[in-house]
């Protein structure tokens, strides 16, 4: 079942969508939601899409089973996405007289009821929630439970008005559905991608966050501001992104696991500080929640256009690790992994998400926190009095000390330096230290070669047709490939999570015998396809999309069918 709520009132649409999401999850269905905010005043209605399934909801879905339109523009903008048998719910008070409606359309004067019967105009969205819930078979008591949890802290009067609005909405449906949703085992927890990252950071041992608010990464800052004090951690809101990352690097230098999160414009400002962390070999995790376009771009829309920047941005030779989770559950585990890799290899680790993944929500099982491996940096033995922070080793790794430890003093210098951290600008030293820093990446590639977190794969031995992707396209690609295989097409799929260093051995093995490689990605310049072209003897067939919206499975399926 695919449901979309749309309207110019973003706050009302999002709250209504969240209430339905939590209610449907309690019915035991798998949940995947996607939010699309207006790009500007003229950017179209806000949309909140819910995909519910009794097997798995990999993506936001294709055609709509139900459209809940809060206003006339939402009807005209979104009705074309309904299935032939799809239903429209609309507000008669907000509908133009000349509007053309689908065959199965159900409306009521929601705004009038909120204003005159409840005397609470803001409750219009909750009347609509009740009306929609009755249509799809959600028991009223479950909606009340969800409202009590979400609005209980706003006071009893507000809560009761919203509950009354839901009840009114149910009463407006002549024949509520009772058989659309069958109750099963509920999902354990509903998280957004940003929430999963914040929780993963806590589990990994992060105890310092330096951040500056920016859409769509601000949720991480806000959540960790609540969580970190409970685990003796600290939060710092800098005056800008450079100060925020600088503070995180300083905290890590002092021995505390630290991170920051930003989006494209802030990530650009952080570039010099990322180079500082790499030169000084200080572990730090940086989340880039990508959004659409250069400069300010489309702040509330999604894109995968920062890959080149994450992989290559910066002056000088700058080793870094880049990871891209594919779904909400992956955000949790890849964040833990990001900290582990930062600590192990003493360099910046960049975690690439985007707006669609950062702010979508999924029902995921509770992680087994007790069995999660957490890596801490290798500490130097200071008893022999021979500590050299940047001593040259075969794998580039040299133990760290904590400032203040007797015998462990060193300077974390941004200029080129010798084994003690003292500035040394000679040609020989620069060549030696550059080799040392990049030896860590070679070590990482060797040690991570068989790590199952590097990729997700759907195999088809002997297939000449393959699909490859990265990041938030995972769900749409997964669904498109499974559908193609059900239709009898031979196609295999590899989704890359580790982007630097690339898992070359695995990718090379995957590409053996392949004649066509389809690479869908949300950017104009085919950045991942070009990365594959640079590193392997392959000529990818690129599918690019720059609408600020994620791929729908049918868009990828069409290319698979065309190429098969």
Query: What distance in Å separates the CA atoms of residue 477 and residue 482, rounded to the nearest whole number?
Result: 9
pLDDT-derived band at 181 (thresholds 50, 70, 90) equals low
Contact yes or no for 455/495 (Cβ under 8 A):
yes
Question: In the CATH hierarchy, which top-level class contains the domain 453-563?
Answer: alpha beta
| Range name among 40-44, 85-89, 555-559 with the lowest pLDDT average | 40-44
For 71, phi then psi, to 5°, come to -155, 175
Query: What distance in Å separates the CA atoms of residue 558 and residue 273, rounded to the nearest whole number?
Result: 43
Q: pLDDT tens for residues 324-350?
A: 999 999 999 999 999 999 999 999 999
Contact yes or no for 301/549 (Cβ under 8 A):
yes
- Token pair in block for residue 253: 């230098």
Query: What distance in Å separates the CA atoms of residue 465 and residue 460, rounded to the nearest whole number?
Result: 9
Give CATH 3.40.50.970 domain extents, the chain: 190-371
- Token pair in block for residue 349: 């680790």
Query: What distance in Å separates the CA atoms of residue 437 and residue 440, rounded to the nearest whole number?
Result: 6
Overall average pLDDT of the 140-167 stretch: 93
Query: What pLDDT is attached to residue 336?
Result: 98
Nearest to 21 by CA among 33, 35, 34, 12: 33
Query: What pLDDT is attached to residue 40?
Result: 43
What is the arrangement of strands in the sheet containing 321-323, beginning at the earlier edge strand? 234-237, 208-211, 258-262, 284-290, 348-354, 321-323, 498-500
Query: What pLDDT is attached to residue 312?
Result: 97
E strand map for 412-459:
455-458
Assess whether pLDDT exceeds 90 at residue 108.
yes
Query: What pLDDT is attached to residue 38?
Result: 62
- Check whether domain 190-371 has CATH 3.40.50.970, yes or no: yes
Q: What angle do CA 30, 31, 33 make, to 5 degrees?
A: 165
Residues 6+ apart with CB under 8 A from 334: 200, 323, 324, 325, 351, 453, 497
pLDDT-derived band at 39 (thresholds 50, 70, 90) equals very low
Overall average pLDDT of the 226-246 stretch: 97
Contact yes or no for 340/373 (Cβ under 8 A):
yes
Q: To the nearest whole percent, how much of the chain has pLDDT over 90? A: 83
Give CATH 3.40.920.10 domain extents, the chain: 2-171
pTM score: 0.91
DSSP secondary structure string for all residues of 338-392: HHHHHHHHTSEEEEEEEHHHHH-EEEEPPP-GGG-----PPBP--TTS---TT--
Nearest to 352 by CA among 497, 207, 165: 497
Question: In the CATH hierarchy, which top-level class contains the domain 2-171?
Answer: alpha beta
pLDDT-derived band at 123 (thresholds 50, 70, 90) equals very high
Q: pLDDT tens for residues 399-444?
A: 999 988 999 999 999 999 999 999 999 999 999 999 999 999 999 9
Residue 525 CB-density burial (10 A; 0-12 exposed, 13-18 middle, 19+ buried)? middle
Assess whether pLDDT exceeds 50 at residue 13.
yes
Q: pLDDT tens for residues 281-321?
A: 999 999 999 999 999 999 989 999 999 999 999 999 999 99
Q: pLDDT tens for residues 191-209?
A: 999 999 999 999 999 999 9
Pick left, alpha or beta for residue 480 (phi over 0 → left; psi -120 to 50 → alpha; otherwise beta).
Answer: alpha
Contact yes or no for 32/100 (Cβ under 8 A):
no
Query: What pLDDT is attached to residue 385?
Result: 84
Query: What distance in Å separates the CA atoms of residue 15 and residue 48, rounded to the nearest whole number?
Result: 9
Query: What distance in Å separates the CA atoms of residue 147 and residue 170, rounded to the nearest whole number?
Result: 15
Query: What pLDDT is attached to residue 182?
Result: 53
Average pLDDT of the chain to the nearest whole number: 93
DSSP secondary structure string for all residues of 81-103: GEEEEEEEEEEGGG--TT----S
First to last CA, the chain: 29
User: Would strands 348-354 and 321-323 be described as parallel, antiparallel, or unpaired?
Assistant: parallel
Give CATH 3.40.50.920 domain extents, the chain: 453-563
3-state secondary structure of 320: coil
Overall average pLDDT of the 356-378 stretch: 93
């Amino acid at each position: 079942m695919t449901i979309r709520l749309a309207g110019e009132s973003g706050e009302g649409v999002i709250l209504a969508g969240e209430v339905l999401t939590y209610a449907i999850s309690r019915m035991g269905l798998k949940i995947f939601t996607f939010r699309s905010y207006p790009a500007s005043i003229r950017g179209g209605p806000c949309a909140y899409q819910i995909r519910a399934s009794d097997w798995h909801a990999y993506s936001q879905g294709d055609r709509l089973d139900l459209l809940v339109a809060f206003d006339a523009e939402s009807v005209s903008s979104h009705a074309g996405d309904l299935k032939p048998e799809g239903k429209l719910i609309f507000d008669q008070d907000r509908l133009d007289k000349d509007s053309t409606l689908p065959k199965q359309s159900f409306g009521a004067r929601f705004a009038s009821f909120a204003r005159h019967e409840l005397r609470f105009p803001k409750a219009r969205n909750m009347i609509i929630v009740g009306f929609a819930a009755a249509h799809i078979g959600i028991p009223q008591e479950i909606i009340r439970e969800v409202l009590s949890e979400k609005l209980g802290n706003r006071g009893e009067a507000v809560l009761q008005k919203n509950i009354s609005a839901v009840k009114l909405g149910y009463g407006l449906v002549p024949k509520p559905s009772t058989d659309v949703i069958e109750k099963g085992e509920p999902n354990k927890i509903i998280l957004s991608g940003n929430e999963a990252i914040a929780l993963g950071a806590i589990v990994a041992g992060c105890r310092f966050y330096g951040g500056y608010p920016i859409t769509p990464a601000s949720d991480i800052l806000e959540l960790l501001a609540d969580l970190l004090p409970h685990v003796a951690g600290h939060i710092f809101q800098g005056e800008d992104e450079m100060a925020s990352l600088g503070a995180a690097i300083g905290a890590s230098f002092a021995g505390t696991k630290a991170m920051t999160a930003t989006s494209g414009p802030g990530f650009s400002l952080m570039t010099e500080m990322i180079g500082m962390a790499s030169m000084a070999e200080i572990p730090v995790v940086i989340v880039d929640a990508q959004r659409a376009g250069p400069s300010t771009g489309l702040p509330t829309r999604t894109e995968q256009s920062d890959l080149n920047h994450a992989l290559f941005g910066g002056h000088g030779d700058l080793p870094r690790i880049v990871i891209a989770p594919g779904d909400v559950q992956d955000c949790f585990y890849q964040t833990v992994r990001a900290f582990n890799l930062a600590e192990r290899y003493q360099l910046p680790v960049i975690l690439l998400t985007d707006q669609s993944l950062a702010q979508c929500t999924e029902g995921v099982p509770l992680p087994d926190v007790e069995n999660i491996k957490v890596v801490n940096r290798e500490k130097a033995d200071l008893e022999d009095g021979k500590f050299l922070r940047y001593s040259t080793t075969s794998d580039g790794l040299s133990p760290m000390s904590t400032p203040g430890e007797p015998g462990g003093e060193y300077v974390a210098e941004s200029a080129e330096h010798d084994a003690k951290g003292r500035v040394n600008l000679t040609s020989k030293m620069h060549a030696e230290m550059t080799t040392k820093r990049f030896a860590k990446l070679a070590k990482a590639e060797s040690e991570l070669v068989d790590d199952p977190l590097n990729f997700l794969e759907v195999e088809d031995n002997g297939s000449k047709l393959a699909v490859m992707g990265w990041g938030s396209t995972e769900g749409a690609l997964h669904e498109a490939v499974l559908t193609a295989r059900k239709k009898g097409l031979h196609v295999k799929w590899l989704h890359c999570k580790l982007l630097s260093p690339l898992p070359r051995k695995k990718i090379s093995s995957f590409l053996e015998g392949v004649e066509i490689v389809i690479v869908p990605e949300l950017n104009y310049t085919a950045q991942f396809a070009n990365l594959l072209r640079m590193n392997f003897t392959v000529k990818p067939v690129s599918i690019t999309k720059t609408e600020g919206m994620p791929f729908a499975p049918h868009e990828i399926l069409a290319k698979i069918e065309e190429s098969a």
